[in-house]
Amino acid sequence: MSLFEAIVLGIIQGLTEFLPVSSSGHLELAKALFGDTSLPKESMAFTILLHGATALSTIVVYRKDIGQIISGLFSTEWNDEKMFSIKIILSMIPAALVGLLFNDQLEAMFSGQTLWVGILLLFTGALLLLADRAKQTDKPVSYLSAILIGISQAIAILPGISRSGATISTAVLLGIDKEKAARFSFLMVVPLILGKMAKDILDGGSNFGSLSVPVLSGGFIAAFVAGILACTWMISLVKKSQLKYFAFYCFAVGLLAIAINLM
């Protein structure tokens, strides 16, 4: 893997982890464009590194919120922080179960299947259009809505379905305030990313092999900086109800992926 490829993949991961366009889908498309031979056997370790960078960018942007969640977990009082922490935990359960029980099967089924990525990007685009037209409300995140948002996050394990797009859209369609929807979406993914990283490392994905320090550093920094920019930008866009532009983008990329596969 060259430094250029590492930086490009880092930017893709950083941007698409938070923008509603499917990070897994774009990484599959990027792999197809680069060619499988350009990605080394150590690509799992590199992917873990990129996820660590995006997790760190979320922690930086939402450091105060994460501090409140942690204090809420250990608080003996039944306050707002305690209840929010429980909702975050509830939202993690569906995706955690799917990841533990079916992740290998899903990865094997969809790895390199850019046709499926294109089809599911069309689904993501339709979902974003629905959310963009939803009426503005000020409902908070309830325990039930936390579970439903968590189910949408579990479904978004499929490459082509955007995690942030699915969770934010589900929250908005449930009537939750758009800013609160984005905040909840980004906070709920941090424990899952860290958990997935730990699982991959235990499964032997920590061998960076021939990857050089400049390549690793370039990918990490690119993903971290892009993640901070995308996370901050996405909060502003959701508040202004600008999801339709991402929907059009998903339609365009999805149709292009389908067309290439049918040629």
- pLDDT number for residue 158: 81
How confident is the model over 168-175, as a mean pLDDT?
Answer: 91
pLDDT above 60 (res 100): yes
Q: What is the mean pLDDT of the chain?
A: 82
In the predicted model, is pLDDT for residue 40 greater than 60? Answer: no
Q: What is the mean pLDDT of residues 162-177?
A: 89
This model's pTM is above 0.85: no
- HEC assignment per residue over the chain: CCHHHHHHHHHHHHHHCCCCCCHHHHHHHHHHHHCHHHCCCCHHHHHHHHHHHHHHHHHHHCHHHHHHHHHHHCCCCCCHHHHHHHHHHHHHHHHHHHHHHHHHHHHHHHCCCHHHHHHHHHHHHHHHHHHHCCCCCCECCCHHHHHHHHHHHHHCCCCCCCHHHHHHHHHHHCCECHHHHHHHHHHHHHHHHHHHHHHHHHCCCCCCCCCCHHHHHHHHHHHHHHHHHHHHHHHHHHHCCCHHHHHHHHHHHHHHHHHHHHC
**Residue 131: per-residue pLDDT:** 87
pLDDT tens column, 102-158: 767 766 665 667 788 888 899 999 999 998 888 777 788 899 999 999 999 998 888
The share of the chain scoring above pLDDT 90, in percent, equals: 18
Per-residue pLDDT, averaged over 237-257, amounts to: 85
| pLDDT tops 90 at residue 17 | no
Domain spans in the chain, listed from the N-terminal domain onward: 3-262
Average pLDDT over residues 81-98: 88
The mean pLDDT value for 233-254 works out to: 84
